[in-house]
Structure 1
Amino acid sequence: MAAQAEAPASTQRQVPPTIAIIIDDMGHNRVEGERLIALEQPLTLAFLPYRRHTSFLAEKAHKQHKEIMLHAPMANTRRLALGPGGLDEGMNQSDITLTLRRALKSIPHVQGVNNHMGSLLTQKLKTMDWVMGEINQYPLYFVDSRTIASSVAGDVAAAYRIPTLSRDVFLDHEQTEEYVHKQFQRLIETAKENGSAIGIGHPHTVTVDYLGKHLPMLDQQGVAIATVSGLWAIRNGNMRMFAEGEKRAIRPALAKQE
């Protein structure tokens, strides 16, 4: 992984507390998706593969300088349905690799991956090794959504030297303005304590309403917002994630649903 020289300590100290916000489950809801894309701030949008509005919204988001991720469906302890493109515990290495590869090719302008659900699969060391072995071929980062405390996904990604981050706060587990506000303030406090923090939300109307109102106020609080790759750069002395030509390009394709 190519690295640039670290910025002087005095420069690093000038970086304000920084948050990144990932919006999961993109691709189902066109109305709220377009509202999120219209926000001026550099959000990171995680798209489920093969959903009705995924390609359209991802292309539109890219034009509005949003960052695009694959929100990869993974098996969960509640046995909830994964939908197309899902990675299940019964799959062998070939199934995992092919399913993930097709899903990546179905998301225009993809720069990273995080897990959708995955409370079961992210605990499976062997399966996570297969997943990260495929991700490692491409210029992609990985964010562990940490849907369960015993997830090994981030550790396996880091072992492959994939640029790796993990979620700090879920913003909208409860869909009320009061709850979203409490979690948003927790995200800001975490960033102030640690220098940066990652929050995950969803395209719920209450979440989009809240972000539309409160993101423009971050400057007044002395807090910056960045894409996930931007936040990773801040944490890593502005080094580049990948050298030019280091990884295989992801060639978009109209992949078939699983």
Structure 2
Amino acid sequence: MFPKIVAVSLAAALGLLGASAPTLAEPAQEAPRSVPPTIAIIIDDMGHDLIQGQRLVAMEQPLTLAFLPYRRHTTALAEAAHRNHKEIMLHAPMANTRQFGLGPGGLDVTMDQNTTASTLRRALASIPHVRGVNNHMGSQLTQMQNNMNWVMSELVNYPVYFVDSRTIATSVAADTAAAHRIPTLTRDVFLDHEQTEEYVDRQFRLLVKKARENGSAIGIGHPHKVTVDYLSRVLPTLDEQGIAVATVSALWTLRNNNLDMFAERERLRQVQPALAGRKKD
């Protein structure tokens, strides 16, 4: 079973649910133990497939579900996911090098700053209970510094984090988000580039290995039946392996010593008006 966690604030931040959750140690004076290796699992492309979407929503573990904007089942699934303690993200479509269609809400390289901002703003508003954003495709747009500055200049107006899906190694998205003081994380492992059980199993084992080596890791999968079948079977067994599952925001909190996710941004907002009001010597 998991090592027990005595820090109430950290346990609350992890948001771990169900059989895989660590419990608070009793009595309270027991010495703190180390936090177990922790994984966050993002499921992209939510909103298309109602059946697999409902299966993911019903899982006990605190998954993070990334919804495409304006899809048929996005609103209903996001509302249900929120009720079942899942974390909700906007899966923002971005231009790719292979010229695949973006669908509604897509951010294209032909857009200027105002159009980029307004498109992103409407997409965020269309996702109930949104807590974060990651890129859908984006191998072209995430390499473009100006466009990423436009994206982050809009996102900084909201209490959301950004996850760089890293669909291309030369992405500047994460660095740009961090420069705008947006809480930022990066994908470690894609789980299901190949839709076979053998491939998903190999990638999931790699995710767990990275979490053991580094303390935590982020995996991205999709609502393919093979992926959902695999997660349904394997996630309930992780407590026996000493592995925790957390939402993305909880994993960020874990990596940042239980810091409030937007504390730095609020500090800057308080300091900047004061600086602007000073008279020049």
Q: Indicate whether 1:216 and 2:210 are aligned.
A: no
Structure 2 match to 1:85: 105
Q: Which amino acid aligns with 2:170?
A: S
Distance 1:179 1:220 in 2: 22
> Structure 1, residues 107-151: CA drift from partner, whole Å, max 9, x if none?
000000000000000000000000000000100000000000000
SS at match of 1:174: coil
Aligned to 1:234: 254
CA distance in 2: counterparts of 1:97 and 1:242, whole angstroms: 21
Question: Does 1:64 find its partner at 2:84?
Answer: yes
Q: Which amino acid aligns with 1:187?
A: L
User: Of residues 139, 147, 150 in structure 1, which corresponds to 2:167?
Assistant: 147
The reply on whether 1:103 has 2:116 as its aligned counterpart is no
Contact 2:39 / 2:244 at 8 angstroms: preserved in 1? yes
- TM-aligned CA deviation for residue 65 of structure 1: 0.2
Counterpart for residue 114 of structure 2 = 94
Match of 2:141 among 106, 121, 134: 121
Matched residue SS, 2:139:
coil
* Secondary structure of 1:199's aligned partner: strand
1:151-170 residue pairs with structure 2 within 5 A?
Answer: 151-170=171-190
Equivalent in 150, 153, 156 of residue 136 of structure 1: 156
SS of residue paired to 1:71: strand
> TM-score, with normalisation over the residues of structure 2?
0.83
Structure number with the bigger relative contact order (C-alpha 8 A, sep ≥ 6) is 1
**In the aligned structure 2, how far is the partner of 1:38 from the partner of 1:177?**
21
Give the distance between the partners of 2:182 and 2:84, measured in 1 at CA: 26
- Provide structure 2 residue ranges, at least 5 long, that are not aligned to the other structure: 1-8, 11-30, 268-281
How much does 1:246 deviate? 4.7
Code of the aligned partner of 1:224: A
Kindly indicate whether the alpha-carbon contact (under 8 Å) linking 2:183 and 2:262 is maintained by their aligned counterparts in 1. no
Within the candidate set 40, 47, 66, 1:46 is matched to 66
Q: Secondary structure at the match of 1:42?
A: coil
Other-structure match for 2:95: 75
Counterpart position of 2:278: none
Does the aligned pair in 1 maintain the 2:91–2:133 contact within 8 Å?
yes
The 1-side partners of 2:223 and 2:248 are apart by: 18
Conservation of the 8 A alpha-carbon contact between 2:93 and 2:105 = yes
Aligned equivalents of 1:164 and 1:94: distance in 2? 23
Q: Tell me the equivalent position of 1:171.
A: 191
**Counterpart secondary structure, 2:41:** strand
SS of the aligned residue for 1:218 comes to helix
Find the structure with the greater CA-based Rg: 2
SS of 2:201's partner is helix
In 2, distance between residues paired with 1:118 and 1:177? 27
Counterpart of 2:222 (choices 180, 202, 208) is 202
Give how far 1:242 is off: 2.2
Secondary structure of the structure 2 residue equivalent to 1:137? coil
Q: Contact conserved, 2:197 with 2:230, CA < 8 A, in 1?
A: yes
Which of 39, 42, 45 matches 1:25?
A: 45
* Aligned alpha-carbon RMSD (Å): 1.7
Cα distance per residue 1:48-94 (max 9 Å; x no partner) = 00000000000000000000000000000000000000000000001
Q: Residues of 1 paired with 2:39 and 2:180: CA distance?
A: 25
Task: Kindly report structure 1 stretches of 4+ aligned residues shifted beyond 4 Å.
Answer: none
- For 2:208, the equivalent position in structure 1 comes to 188
What's the offset of the Cα at 1:193?
0.4
Q: Using structure 1 for the length normalisation, give the TM-score.
A: 0.90
2:206 partner letter: R
Matched residues, percent identical? 71
